[in-house]
Structure 1
Amino acid sequence: MMKEIQLPSYYIKFKASHAILVMKEGSTVTMEISEEITSMMEDFYKGKNFILISHRRFPHDIDLNVYKGRILKNMIGYAIVSDNPEEMERAMVEQSLWNEAFTFFKTLEEAENWASSFFD
């Protein structure tokens, strides 16, 4: 089960147990974009549990108010992937805004293995 959606400011890959979000360089995660992504995840997973992986390959901004927006109950974990030390610092701020499983990885492979471990 896989689907990929390309949009002007990001692309998202849907897999059986997790979705991988990549924001494009210079874009911003706004409330509007967050709601759009949330709706796509809701449509794809239809109540099944899943993990969201934010693969931060490119510099982009985040409106931290997105963590106050609508969060899907079946999104049981969130991972950030980056080898940039500044992203790790930003992730520490974001982690305080998230109540479910939250972790940081340097490689996408590590994050995908972590996500899969919830469903073994």
Structure 2
Amino acid sequence: MITSYILDFGLIEIYEDYIKVTINEGVTVSPEHNDVLLEMVEKHYKNKAFLYLTHRINSYAVNPTIYLETAKIENLIGFAVVSDNPIQEKQTKLEKAFFSKELKRFDDIESALQWKTELLEKYHGTFY
């Protein structure tokens, strides 16, 4: 890990080629949270491909329209949802309808990181 940020809505961890976000219990993720993501991208991933990994260990709500803006981040190669909760499978399908890039749910972080590696190979050289 390169660095981390503890914010009022959750924990953001910055890695070489992915950002891992763990949202706090009871939060409703809204477009304002996207502004924080944009700041992180500008600071840590400028002109570099990266994956967004959300580790859903807490119960919280997501306004799915947030994905319309998130998908506009040019160097974002994909969005991984990590949760072993069966409800998240349905939630992820709903969210995917609003997200024009690759979005996939995984039961564990290791599987999500393997997918990240595959995506980075697919998009190699696109953002450098």
**Alignment partner of 1:76 is 2:68:** no
State TM-score, norm by structure 2.
Answer: 0.86
Distance 1:118 1:65, change over 3 A: closer
Gaps of 5+ in 2: 122-128
Tell which deviates more after alignment, 71-80 or 38-47.
Answer: 38-47
3-state SS in 1 of match to 2:87: helix
Aligned residues of 1:77 and 1:101 also touching (Cα < 8 A): yes
Residues 78 and 119 of structure 2 are in contact (CA less than 8 Å); yes or no, is this contact kept in structure 1? no
Deviation by residue 1:49-102 (Cα, 9 ceiling, x = unmatched): 111011111000111221222531000111101011111111000111111121
Query: In 1, are the aligned partners of 2:2 and 2:16 still within 8 Å (CA)?
Result: yes
1:8 correspondence with 2:8: yes
Alignment of 1:60-99 (within 5 A): 60-69=60-69, 71-99=72-100
Superposition RMSD on alpha carbons, in Å?
1.5
Counterparts of 1:111 and 1:4, CA distance in 2? 19
Cα distance, 1:106 vs structure 2: 0.3
Local SS of the residue matching 2:16: coil
Displacement after TM superposition at 1:12 (Å): 1.0
What number of residue pairs does the alignment pair up? 120
Q: Say whether 1:43 aligns with 2:43.
A: yes
For structure 1, list consecutive stretches of 5 or more residues without a partner in the other structure: none
1: CA distance between counterparts of 2:40 and 2:102? 21
TM-score by length of structure 1 reads: 0.91
Runs of 4 or more consecutive aligned structure 1 residues displaced over 3 Å after TM superposition: none
CA distance in 2 between partners of 1:59 and 1:87 (Å): 10
Distance (Å, rounded) in 2 between the aligned partners of 1:11 and 1:60: 14
Q: Identity of paired residues, percent?
A: 26
